[in-house]
Amino acid sequence: MAEPDDKIEEQQPEVTADTPLIESVSEDVSVEVGDFIQQAAEQNEAAAEAVPDVKNKPGPYISFEHVYKSFGEFVVLEDVSFYVLPGETLCILGRSGVGKSVSLQMLLGFLKPDKGMIKVAGENICGFGERELQEIRRKVTMVFQNGALFDSITVGENVAFPMRERGEMAEDQILQVVKGLLEMVGVAGMESLLPSDLSTGMKRSVAIARALASQPEAVLYDEPTTMVDPLMAHLLGDLIERLKQQLHLTSIVVTHDMRLAKKLADRVVFLSAGKAIFFGTMEEMERSRDPILQEFLALDELVTPV
């Protein structure tokens, strides 16, 4: 039976967005994990510097440029444009069925736009073949809403999978990093459990650990706080913010959770009826007089009062 999310809180001391990631890691693996984290942070800083400038300003790590996508007669995205600068977090907001998750799938090349351009790390990926897309997926990884863990192998083997696939680390190093990453995301000591033994919140945490094991330059989060309790949502939000700050990760978060968006977002894009009706900061969105945005914000206040 899956364990409750509140067990996660019991396993580690109170943390905030400013708490160093390595503080959660056991002393016996701290050196190996610290080196792994430092390597990831330096890689992401270098990746940010490598993105081509646009008009003498830092260029976006990810961008949608006039993107269209339909399924038959159903229009999902119509002339949608937005961008994410290196090391920043974009939140994609909007009601269900407006193309939020479809946008993430197109970023990874699982779906192709009908028209427009999608760039990752300065490269237009729309014409990429599967081999080139595999290289993009090494740079950009996704934390799916259901975790998308391999059900038939243990938690530890799930997290180890990206490192074993790369073949660059000795097995004892991999095991140390696995232990440290699980401690870092708040699910210490769960290496031998199967995904079916975990609660929804725990699966999300393990999925984040597995994403970090691939040392990505960007992470896409699909509804990370859906179907978890408020405490777990708070812990996941803090974790995502710490990863951004300390690993210099570029992030896109699809969410209905306005509290999470207010915590994380450098910018937000709001999708409605296939179009991006707003792209800017959260403060600018809250000042907008657009009736659709005002209705969304008003309903959110009713659902999640402060």
Residue 73 CA to chain centroid, in angstroms? 30
Sequence letter at residue 215: Q
DSSP 90-108: EEEE-STTSSHHHHHHHHT
Helix-strand-coil percent breakdown of the chain, rounded to 5? Answer: 45, 20, 35
What's the start-to-end Cα distance of the chain, in Å? 34
pLDDT in tens, the chain (306 residues): 555 555 554 444 566 667 788 998 999 999 999 999 999 999 999 999 999 888 888 899 999 999 999 999 999 999 999 999 999 999 999 888 788 889 999 999 999 999 999 999 989 999 899 999 999 999 999 998 776 899 999 999 999 999 999 888 999 999 999 999 999 999 999 999 999 999 888 999 999 999 999 999 999 999 998 888 888 888 889 999 999 999 999 999 999 888 899 999 999 999 998 999 999 999 999 999 999 999 888 876 655 544
Torsion of CA 108, 114, 116, 122, to 10 degrees: 20
The confidence score (pLDDT) of residue 256 equals 85
Element (H, E) at 19: none
Domains, the chain:
6-57+86-108+129-303 (3.40.50.300)
pLDDT of the residue at 257: 86
What is the pLDDT, as a whole number, of residue 10?
47
Tokens read off for 182 = 């699980």
Residue 168, class by beta-carbon neighbours within 10 Å (0-12 exposed, 13-18 middle, 19+ buried)?
Answer: exposed
Report CA torsion sign: 169, 28, 193, 221: negative
pTM, two decimal places = 0.89
**pLDDT at res. 9:** 46
User: What's 2's DSSP letter?
Assistant: P
